[in-house]
């Protein structure tokens, strides 16, 4: 009889714990949905005032690294935003300090995909192998469809022909922030 009571108590405790965990998970999911809905509403409010999502000031800034010596070729770039840009439009570029007659040279880096709605922060990786020892800049930009196509082509052929830089800044890309870095 005692084992029946113990089994019943364990079952009751498990049911209560499951109910509590389920309620917490639902509240957490509801909060995430609510946060996402706020982000979407802020974006929609701004879009309605402009002809293109490229015309919006998203308040995007790089907070790290900023004017720093970096010792690794693969660095994490972190930043903040006020309004989340459309998915897959926020991109990083490595830009050396020298220019050609066609303009700035740049290497596409990563698409910013990691956003924290709670802290209004983002992060992505950048490979600065192509920058000279004197360094250059990391640029975060919101890009239009032609740059997305160029970007995809770059990553399709880059491994086959070598990772060459582009010359001349894409006209459908809006630079949000630029920071200088020096290779250690």
Co-location of 158 and 170 in the same domain: yes
- Asked if 83 and 34 sit in the same domain, the reply is no
Q: Are residues 71 and 139 in the same domain?
A: yes
Residues 38 and 87 grouped into a single domain:
no
Domain ranges, residue 21: 1-49
Summarize pLDDT for 14-71 with one digit per residue, the tens: 666 555 665 555 565 676 667 767 766 766 666 667 788 999 999 999 999 998 888 8
Q: Phi first, then psi: give them for residue 56, nearest 5 degrees.
A: -90, 140
Q: 85 with 159, same domain?
A: yes
The predicted structure's pLDDT at residue 132: 87
Please give the Cα distance from 86 to 73 (Å, whole number).
Answer: 28
CA distances, 13 to each of 3, 4, 7, 8, 24 (Å): 15, 14, 10, 9, 17
Tally of domains within the chain: 2
pLDDT per residue over 84-110, tens digit each? 999 999 999 999 988 778 778 899 999
């Amino acid at each position: 009889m005692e084992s029946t009571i113990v089994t019943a108590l364990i079952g009751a405790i498990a049911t209560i714990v499951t109910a509590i965990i389920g309620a917490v998970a639902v509240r957490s999911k509801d909060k995430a949905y609510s946060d996402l809905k706020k982000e979407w509403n802020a974006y929609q409010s701004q879009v309605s005032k402009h002809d293109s999502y490229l015309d919006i000031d998203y308040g995007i800034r790089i907070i790290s690294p900023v004017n720093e010596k970096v010792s690794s070729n693969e660095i994490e770039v972190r930043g903040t935003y006020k309004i989340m840009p459309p998915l897959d439009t926020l991109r990083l570029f490595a830009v050396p300090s020298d220019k050609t007659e066609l303009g700035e040279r740049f290497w596409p880096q990563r698409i910013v995909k990691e956003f924290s709605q709670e802290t209004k922060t983002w992060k992505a990786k950048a490979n600065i192998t192509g920058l000279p020892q004197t360094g250059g800049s990391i640029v975060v930009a919101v890009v239009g469809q032609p740059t997305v196509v160029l970007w995809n082509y770059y990553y399709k052929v880059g491994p086959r022909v070598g990772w060459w830089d582009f010359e001349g800044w894409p006209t459908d890309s809006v630079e949000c922030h630029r920071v200088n870095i020096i290779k250690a």
